[in-house]
Amino acid sequence: MEKETRRPWRRWVVLVLLIAGFVLGGVYKPVQPEILVAPEKLMEEPLVENFLGTGPLYLVNTLPTLAITIVLILLVAFFTNRSLKQSQRTDLVPRGIGNLMESFFELLYNLTEGSAGTQYARTIFPWFATIMFYVLFANLLKLIPGFESIGVLHHAHGEGHAKELLFGNWYLFTDEKGEYILAPFLRGISVDLNFTFALALISVVMIQVVGFRAQGIGYLSKFFNTRRMFKVPFFGAMDFLVGLLELISELSKILSFAFRLFGNMFAGIVLVAIVAGLLGKFSILPAMVMLFELFVGVIQAFVFGMLTMVFMAQATQGHGEEHAEAH
């Protein structure tokens, strides 16, 4: 029996990329970008002067990313559906993207069923899976080369960079001081507080909807517990105060959800920008930071989705005496 010879071609690919990064880092010195919390405007003129009475609506660089994520997810859904239908017509064995998506969502459904039980798994799973898949997709999409590094030049109001003509209307920043800053065409939507806040609001609202569907009007006793107010006044008052604390805690979930995802993903941008700017020639170190950013993106999507699922599962359960009486 002949022994198969291993050909570690992947190592050579990594080595070639490292050498190319070292050479390009010497020719084109990386420039640390301007780091802003708010999304950058791609155009100075607003798209709509008065949008729903809230003021002007500008084309910021998270809006194209939002549109791209929606289009790509629709394409993934289309090809997944075609793959599964093809497997149904042949040997019932899913392959390719159909197999990948089926395994992923089956894992999420098993997690939901294990935490919330069979009765409420079908109610909670669509929200849990949708939120987790969308956040994971958005976090991974921002790691594609070109995100947050290719865009339009604007005149800097403060300190900026000089530009060097590459070809046509394409320019490169230099490390010399100048009058220009870069507004990237695309910016990850997970580093837009508007997106994370909207997602957190949807998550918390649906937690309450699931709670009402499971317990009816009795769900409000979790926040306004007056059951023992007149029977045992002291402990009844304590129960009422605890319920108000529960209400405050429920509202604070919006802030904790939004800032947890936003803070971790924004910190990744800052870390990658600083490391790439300081260690431009040594491409292996920024690459290692990008791997760490990949890890953080996966973990944050999992945490956001799991917290939503766990809080929904808790909302289906009675509170205190109501839960005991139900059993």
In a domain, 7, yes or no: no
* pLDDT tens-digit series, residues 1-46: 455 556 677 778 777 777 776 777 666 666 666 777 788 888 878 8
Residue 30 confidence (pLDDT): 62
- Which parts of the chain have pLDDT scores under 50? 1, 321-327
Max Cα–Cα distance, the chain, nearest Å: 86
Quote the domain boundaries for residue 198: 117-147+189-322
Q: Is 273 among the domain residues?
A: yes
Specify the pLDDT at position 36. Answer: 76
Instruction: Give the model's pLDDT for residue 26.
Output: 66
Q: What is the domain count for the chain?
A: 1
How confident is the model at residue 238, as a pLDDT? 76
Q: Which helix (H) or strand (E) holds 326?
A: helix 321-326
pLDDT value for 326: 43
Q: Is residue 288 part of a domain?
A: yes
Q: Which of 295, 285, 290, 291 is CA-nearest to residue 18? A: 285
Which pLDDT value is given to residue 14?
Answer: 73
Q: Are 256 and 14 in contact (CB under 8 A)?
A: no
232 domain residue, yes or no: yes
197 in a domain, yes or no? Answer: yes
What are the tokens at 175? 């490390």
CA-to-CA distance for 309 and 256, rounded, in angstroms?
A: 15
Judge whether 287 lies within some domain: yes
Task: Answer yes or no: is 51 within a domain.
Answer: no
Tell me 51's DSSP state.
Answer: S
Give 327's DSSP letter.
-
- In this structure, what are the phi and psi dihedrals at residue 170, rounded to the nearest 5 degrees? -100, 130
Angle at 301 between CA 129 and CA 294, to 5 degrees: 135
Q: What is the pLDDT of residue 76?
A: 92
60 located within any domain = no
- pTM above threshold 0.85: no
For residue 197, the model assigns a pLDDT of 92
